[in-house]
Every structure is written in structure tokens, then in C-alpha cells.
Structure 1
Amino acid sequence: MRTADRRIALGLYRTGPTRHLLEVALEQGVTDLDTAFNYHHFTSHRTLAAIADDLLPAFTISTKVGYFPDGHDLAPARLRVAVERSVKELGRTPDTVLLHNPESSVGGFADACAVLLEMREAGRCKNWGLSTWDPRPLLEADWEIPRPDVAMVRAGLTVPVGVLNAVDELVDRAGIAELWGMAPFAGNADASIWQTVDTSAFLVPGQQGSALQTGVAAAFAIPAVSRLAVGTSDIEHLAEAVGGSRLEVNTETVTAYRALLRERATVSAGAPSRKDP
């Protein structure tokens, strides 16, 4: 994928949105926002509209439904209400509505997908899709669903091989045409590992970038995603992430890395337990 086709989304999971942060995001060329019905104690949509209603038309907004004050639920009636409330509180139609961690309620997955397709056809969103932290439980179930417009999955060097392989299978099984990434640093870009592990091997030679930038670049390729949600309230962090999205990834290194992960997973699966004779 060309670097020009990649984009950073400002993720609002841990980040309380402020007008200044949104203004700086636009200055950096970040025009995607990623939020959810339940973020910030179910106030994220109202907060965005209150502090920046005039800025929101400049953003492409994705949100998620599936969590409620009493827990996770994919009941069709509750999802419809959540989508309608999201539209009302944002003061505009979200560009994309995603099922939030559908693997938490696998039994209602197919009906939930049908509801989001219904919401798209009713004009309550422009696209619909899935946001899954670990798609393996979904793949263990028997389902047929309409084709999602997009799926958002974990991306980057912290993603376990089992999850990466499940993402590949989900894409094939559901016919997903566009894949987005999230959590490139597993929620902690300041962890010491990013300063001790050399990730520059994932870049085409001749480029330079900080540990954060090379981690972002790798996340766009593991797995291959067109958009990467980065949660931060630090303006410098956001600028670095944007810079990382412009670095060119060494596809041969990525291919070798994925092959090594699969090989190690196969060896581990075939290794006898300590209780074997």
C-alpha cells in the first residue's frame, strides 16, 4: 500500500477530547476520529458536539455500539437505540458504525450485523462494520452475515500470531474489503520495550524515524491496514504518528516476520507437554 493511501485516526478511547486537540489534529492532516457509544462513561458523542460542533464536519467519524451500562449486548433493539442516540448526540450522521467487540456475544453476531446493515440503508450511517480485539471466538461459530464495509482489528508488533491468523481468516470469510488497525502499541507507547527493540528493520533502507514512528509504520503492515487509530492527547505523539504513517515499509521483512511467527506457532502447537511420557 502506498504511504499516501494510509491515514491516522485520532482514537478517543483513553483520550478526553478537547477543542485544542481536535484543532491540532486537523492542522496535522488528521481528519479521522474514532470513538464509541460507551467511551468516557457514555459521554463522548455529547462532548464532541459540545466542544467542537463546528469542527466535526471536517472529520470522518467512526463510532461503535455494543456496550451498555449493564455490559455487552448485541440485542437488535438496543443496537438500534444506540445508533439513533449516537446520531442525535453527535448532531450528524457518523460515517461508520462498527459492532464493538462482537466476539463478546457471539450468539447474537449475525442478527447484530443485519441491524447495522439496516441502519446503513436507513441513512443512520454511511458504512458499517466490525471492531474486534480478538476474532477467534467469532470464527468458532457458524454464521452467515452480509458483507461488512470495513473491519477494525489490532495491528502492530504486539499482536499475537493467533490473532493475526484469525484476522486473515475473518477477512476471507466475511469478504471484508477494507481493513483498519488500532492499538499499535497495545495501549502503552512509552513502554521500555520500544526503546530497546530495534524496529528499523521494518523500514525500507535509507529512512530514519523514532521508535514510535517505526512502530506505527510496522503497524500499517501487520496486518495490512489503510487506517490506524492512535489514542493520544499528546500533540507531539500525534505528530510523530503522522510522520510514521509516511515511512515506507520493507515488505520482504514483513513477509519474513509473519512466516517466522507462523513457524514458531506451529512448533509450539506440536511440542509435547511436560506430562507426556
Structure 2
Amino acid sequence: MRTADHRIAVGLYRTGHNRDLLEGALKLGVTDLDTAFNYRQFASHRTLAAIADDLLSAFTISTKVGYFPDGHDFTPARLRTAVEQSANELGRTPDTVLLHNPESSVGGFANACAVLMEMREAGYCKNWGVSTWDPRRLLEADWEIPRPDVAMVRAGLTVSAGILEAVDELVDRTQIAELWGMAPFAGNAADPIWQTVDTSTFLASGQHGSTLQAGVAAAFAVPRVSRLAVGTSHVDHLSEVVDGSRLEVSRETVTAYRELLRQRATVSAGAPSRKDR
């Protein structure tokens, strides 16, 4: 699986907003930023503009709307205000605006999609889409999901078979133009579990990399995504991630892995509960 279309985005969910990181990212060729209206206690956009106003034009920026101080809300008027405020605070139009965890407000999903399409037409973003941690509830909805430009989903070796299957169905049903990934290490690349997993198994013959690098390469293939948002506050760590994005994985190994996940999920679903034993 070739890596020509593999892009890394600096994910700002848990990442410190600092100029050194952004400057380092640009030097590494990382030109994607991913943030959200609610990140950094609803101050992410303002903070970015304050510390790096002169750098932001060099980045492709994606942001998300849907969370407010009082919780998740897809009321159209609030979404419109959030999109407008995002652009104003950044000092520029975001390239992509995503509905943040639409599975939390399924009842308002169709109207929320209409709002983002409207905001795109009004020039408040170039693309619109969804960022979903678990798309299964969206797929249960009794309507045709409008075609987003982008969907961002969980990626990597911690994603369950059920969610991976749901992502495949979401892509098939909506004919999404581009699929992005996030949280390749479930938010913690330093977790001791990664010292027990041989991620190099997924690399194509002749490819070599650290556990982190091989995990990043696998995340681009499980599911297949073109961009991966990774949280980090250190340029050295980001550099290792970038190197991982250039590694090739074995398509055969990924296919076998996905099949094993499906089989395991099927067995687990059919296993008798404790009270039935």
C-alpha cells in the first residue's frame, strides 16, 4: 500500500497550542491542523490566531462544531453561529468544518448537515463533513445521509471490528470523497500496551520502523485513510510520526487482520452469556 496520499495533521485535542510546534510542523512538511470549536475550553481558535497568526495561512485547517458549554447541540442557529465565530476567531476561513460526534445528536443530524452545506455555499468553509467516534448510530437513522466531502473516523489497531464495519458502510452509503483518521493509539502512544504489540508485523517486506512508526503506518490502512490526525506537543515525536507515514504496509496482512477481527466479533456475539452457562 503506497504512501503518496498519506498526510499527517497536528491534532490539537490534547496538544499544547504553541508556536514552536507549529513552526516545527511546517519544517517537517506537516501542513494540516485539526482543531474544534470547543478545544482548549472554547479558546483554540483565538489562541491559534494569537500565537501564530502569520503561520495559519500555510496550514490546511479543519475544525469541528457541535459542542457548547452546556453540552452537545445541533440546533441550526447555534451551529451557524459557531461556524461564523470559528472563522472570525481564526482570522481566516477554515478549509473544512466537521459535525462533531453527530452520533450524540442523531435526531438533529439531517438538519445539521443542511446547515453545513449552507455555510459552505456562503463561503464559511471550503468543505464540510462529519467527525464520528462511532458511526453505528448514524447508520441506524431512517433517512438518506447527505454526501459529505469528508468523514473523520477512528483509525488504527485499537478500533473494533464493529466500528470498522460501520465505517465501511458509511463510506459505501454516502460515497464520501475523502476519509480521514484520528486517534491511532487511542489517545496514548505511551501506553505500556504498545510495548507488547509487534506493530512491525503490518509492514511490507523490506520496511523497518519503530513500534510507533509501524503503528502509524497501520493506522493509515485500518481503515484506509488519506490523512491521520495525531496529538503531540513535541516536534521530535511529530518527526517520528511523519517517518511512520512514509512506510508501506502489507495489504495481505491488513486483509488477514480485518478478517480475524470479524471472526472474533462473530464468535463473541454468538457466545452464551454467563447466566446461560
What is the TM-score of this pair, normalised by structure 1?
0.98
**What is the Cα deviation at residue 208 of structure 1?**
1.1
Write the mapping of 1:176-191 to structure 2, written as runs, cut at 5 A: 176-191=176-191
Counterpart amino acid of residue 7 in structure 2: R
* 1:13 and 2:13 correspond: yes
Q: Which residue of 1 aligns with 2:164?
A: 164
* 1:147 and 2:129 correspond: no
- Tell me the SS of whatever aligns to 1:189: coil
Q: Which residue of 1 aligns with 2:24?
A: 24
In 1, the alpha carbon distance for the partners of 2:131 and 2:23 equals 26
Q: Which residue of 1 aligns with 2:47?
A: 47
Report if aligned partners of 1:114, 1:145 keep a CA contact under 8 Å in 2. no
Counterpart amino acid of residue 191 in structure 2: A
For structure 2, which runs of at least 5 residues remain unmatched after alignment?
none
Q: Which residue of 2 aligns with 1:240?
A: 240
**What is the Cα deviation at residue 137 of structure 1?**
1.3
What is the TM-score of this pair, normalised by structure 2?
0.98
Q: Which residue of 1 aligns with 2:110?
A: 110
**What is the Cα deviation at residue 143 of structure 1?**
2.0
In 2, the alpha carbon distance for the partners of 1:160 and 1:237 equals 26
Q: Which residue of 2 aligns with 1:88?
A: 88
Listed one character per residue, the Cα deviations across residues 138-179 of structure 1 (whole Å, up to 9, x for unaligned) are 112112232100000000000111111111111112221210
Listed one character per residue, the Cα deviations across residues 214-254 of structure 1 (whole Å, up to 9, x for unaligned) are 00000000000000000000111100100000000100000
Deviates most, 95-104 or 174-183: 174-183
Q: Which residue of 2 aligns with 1:173?
A: 173
Q: Which residue of 2 aligns with 1:197?
A: 197
For structure 1, which runs of at least 5 residues remain unmatched after alignment?
none
- Tell me the SS of whatever aligns to 1:4: coil
Q: Which residue of 1 aligns with 2:126?
A: 126
* 1:273 and 2:273 correspond: yes
Report if aligned partners of 1:117, 1:146 keep a CA contact under 8 Å in 2. no
Report if aligned partners of 1:80, 1:115 keep a CA contact under 8 Å in 2. yes
Q: Which residue of 2 aligns with 1:255?
A: 255
Give % identity: 82
- Tell me the SS of whatever aligns to 1:3: coil
Cα RMSD (Å) of the superposition? 0.9
* 1:98 and 2:74 correspond: no
Deviates most, 196-205 or 67-76: 196-205
**What is the Cα deviation at residue 180 of structure 1?**
0.1
- Tell me the SS of whatever aligns to 2:276: coil
Listed one character per residue, the Cα deviations across residues 46-94 of structure 1 (whole Å, up to 9, x for unaligned) are 0111111110000000000000000000111000000000010000000
- Tell me the SS of whatever aligns to 1:255: helix
- Tell me the SS of whatever aligns to 1:275: helix
In 2, the alpha carbon distance for the partners of 1:229 and 1:105 equals 23
Number of residues of Structure 1 aligned to a counterpart in Structure 2: 277
- Tell me the SS of whatever aligns to 2:224: coil
In 1, the alpha carbon distance for the partners of 2:66 and 2:149 equals 18
In 1, the alpha carbon distance for the partners of 2:177 and 2:5 equals 15
